[in-house]
Each structure stands twice: as structure tokens, then as C-alpha cells.
Structure 1
Amino acid sequence: MPISIRRMTTADLDRAATVLGDAFADYPWTNWCVAADSHKQRVTELQRLYLEHMALPHGLAYTDDAHNGVVAFIPPDLPEPDESLVAKIVELHGDRLERAVEAEERMSAMAVPENAWSLATAGVSREARGRGLGGDLLKVGLAELDRRNAACWLDTSTHRNLPLYERHNFTIADHVVLDDTLEVWRMHRPAV
């Protein structure tokens, strides 16, 4: 049976945040920069905030009809978040916020293609992994960026993600090791 991918709506937020919270609960980046106490809950809420306040109103976000996967892209001209949103994000990072700030400062020196969109998040529920859903979601979102003649970039902190992104025409542009433990790869995909 073919998978049906569609644009996300606000009605999808709770399930999408749950899927992403589960997908990123044991992800190296979130383990490193989101507090350990109530970790999965914090990650889920962070994902919900990013979807609700950034991806849905300003970017592109997709899910499948079964709500097992999510992908979101953010435009290069994303408005600055308001103070109350920043305060919530700071609170959710907890005692590891300083790590996130230091990492962002270091990573800001890594090149990003001009006017490129960011692949902000992509995740699939544990029960739906290994069936190609992540690739299908990427394909739909990237096809829209291609229609807009837009380049894209992403950061990943899992080496096993590299082949997936390379299949979608991303190439490694940079690599950094943070705090001698966390690796991050920056990848670029040109406009078509």
C-alpha cells in the first residue's frame, strides 16, 4: 500500500511532537544539550515548539496519513522568535543550555549556502522505522524546495544518517567535534 504524505496542520502537532520526541530521545545532539531529567518530555516539548512557532507558520512541514513520520524545513528568512518562546526553549534545555549556546557559536562558522532552507527535523516512530518512510518524507519536502529552486542544508550528529541524506543529494560540507564527544556533520544540497 502506498504511503500518503501531506502538509502538516496544527491538528497534527501533538502526534508529530510525540513522534519526534521519541525519535530524538536518544539522539546524540539532544542527549548532549537537553537536560537529562525528564529528557524525553523536554525533547518532545522542544520539537512541538519548533513545529508550532517556526515550521508551520513560516516553513514547510509534512507527515504521513498514519502520523508515523515528520519532516520540517525552515526558510532562511525565519523571523526571530519572541521573548516568551525563547524563555520556554531556555527552560527546556535546562542545565545543558550552555552546551547548546557554545555549540551554536562554534557551528555558526560552518558555511551555509546562500538563501538555503534548513532541514530542521526529520523523524519516524520506532514502529515504522526501516520501511522507507523517512526517505519518502524527505523526497516530498525536497521536491517542494526544488520547485522553489532552493538549496538546503542540515546538521546531523549521527554517522548512520549520512547515507540517507547522501541518497537525497546532500554532501558533507563540514564536520566538527564538540567537547571531544559529540560529532556534528553539516551537509549541503544545491538548488536544482
Structure 2
Amino acid sequence: MVIETVDVDTAVHVLTRAFADDPVARWLLPEERYGAWAARVFGRVVQASAEHGKLAVTAGGTAVAVWLRRPADGQAVEEEPLPPELARLATVQELTADRHPAGEPYLYLAFLGVVPGERGRGLGGDLLRHRLDRADAEDLPAYLEASSARSRELYLRYGFRDAGDPIPLPDGPVVRPMRRNPRP
């Protein structure tokens, strides 16, 4: 069961736990910085998602989907400059910018996370189905960057397709841009 929520603290806690073993998250925030910075990184985006009614958490509070609606001009919500400790996040944003849909509004899945021990139970799929049904009703495409082969496989099952070649991060893993067109 999916619950629309504005419980930012719960969502940030779930994402911090869920991404602790994610290859891209660990590249962005190596071990010595993860604990101190993960909540700040997730918190910024979770708050924006909650403010626009796009944040969803499963009933048990063990899975979170953070969606952002992007306008046709592709301009993100005004954000504060990133501190030097998050320079790699700026790198990811720069490397993926031209893969986002252009000239049309779309939904951006910033994060989908399920806490360890709850994975494989369909919680992420429930969250995807919930928002993608709404995207279809609104005739909106969806876009994301898969951070692992496992997450890419999940997204493929829900109609996403690769949006170009994978993007290698400097001295790090790859991200896989993906897009899903609305279904009639």
C-alpha cells in the first residue's frame, strides 16, 4: 500500500539506509562522508518532492519514491549552491543534464529506495506503479538515472527504456539514464 506523505524525516531515514550500499551513492559520498552528508543530500530533494505532492512512502515506512515534476523548459527549482564536499553531485548533474527530456514536462524519479531486508517484496514496484499510473493519466513521460544493474532491471519491467549509453562517472561506477513514455 502506498501512502502519499509529507513525512520528510522518515523518507530521509529510509533513503539513507537504502542507499548505504548503492554504488553511485558511495561514489558521491565515500565512507568517511556518508553519514554526515547523506541526510543533507536526500533532505533537499525529499523536501522539494513533499512540497509538490510527489513524495510517496509505503505503509510500513520501508520504501520511498521521490518524484519531481519538471517543466517543459527543463529548469529545476532554484537550489542553493552545493558545498565543496558535494562536488561529485554537481558532476553527476552536469553529466546527465542533456539526457533529461527537453521541450516537454516530465516526472523525474530522483530516488527510489527500499531498506535492506525489505527488498524483493515488491515495495519499489508498488511505488513505481502508483506514480506511473498517474503519469499515464496526465500524459507525462518519466525519466530517471538507474544507479545499478539491479535497479535498471526493475525499471525495465515498468516500461522504462535506456535513454542513450550509460554514463561513466570519473573514476567511479556508471549511471544509466532511462525514460518511459506515457501509456494510453
Superposed, 1:19-168 pairs within 5 Å as 19-52=14-47, 54-77=48-71, 80-82=77-79, 86-87=80-81, 90-91=82-83, 94=85, 97-112=86-101, 114-168=104-158
Q: Which amino acid aligns with 2:108?
A: S
- Percent identity between matched residues is 26
User: Does the CA-based 8 Å contact 1:68-1:128 persist in structure 2?
Assistant: yes
- The CA distance in 1 between the partners of 2:142 and 2:61, in whole Å, is 24
Q: Which amino acid aligns with 2:56?
A: Y
- Which runs of 5 or more residues in structure 1 are unaligned? none
Question: What do the CA deviations read for 1:10-66 (whole angstroms, capped 9, x no partner)?
Answer: xx22121111001112212221122542413421232122111x1011251111221
- The CA distance in 1 between the partners of 2:176 and 2:53, in whole Å, is 23
- Which runs of 5 or more residues in structure 2 are unaligned? none
More displaced 10-residue stretch of structure 1: 180-189 or 33-42 = 33-42
CA displacement at 1:183 relative to structure 2: 0.6
Runs of 4+ in 1 over 6 A off after TM superposition: none
Q: Which amino acid aligns with 1:7?
A: E
RMSD over aligned Cα, in angstroms? 2.0
User: Does the CA-based 8 Å contact 1:22-1:40 persist in structure 2?
Assistant: no
Taking structure 1 as the reference length, the TM-score comes to 0.83
CA displacement at 1:79 relative to structure 2: 5.3
User: Does the CA-based 8 Å contact 1:59-1:75 persist in structure 2?
Assistant: no
Which structure has more helix as a fraction of its residues? 1
How many pairs are equivalent?
Answer: 178
CA displacement at 1:104 relative to structure 2: 2.1
Residue in 1 that maps onto 2:176: 185
Question: What do the CA deviations read for 1:74-99 (whole angstroms, capped 9, x no partner)?
Answer: 011365335xxx25xx24x71xx333
- The CA distance in 1 between the partners of 2:172 and 2:27, in whole Å, is 9
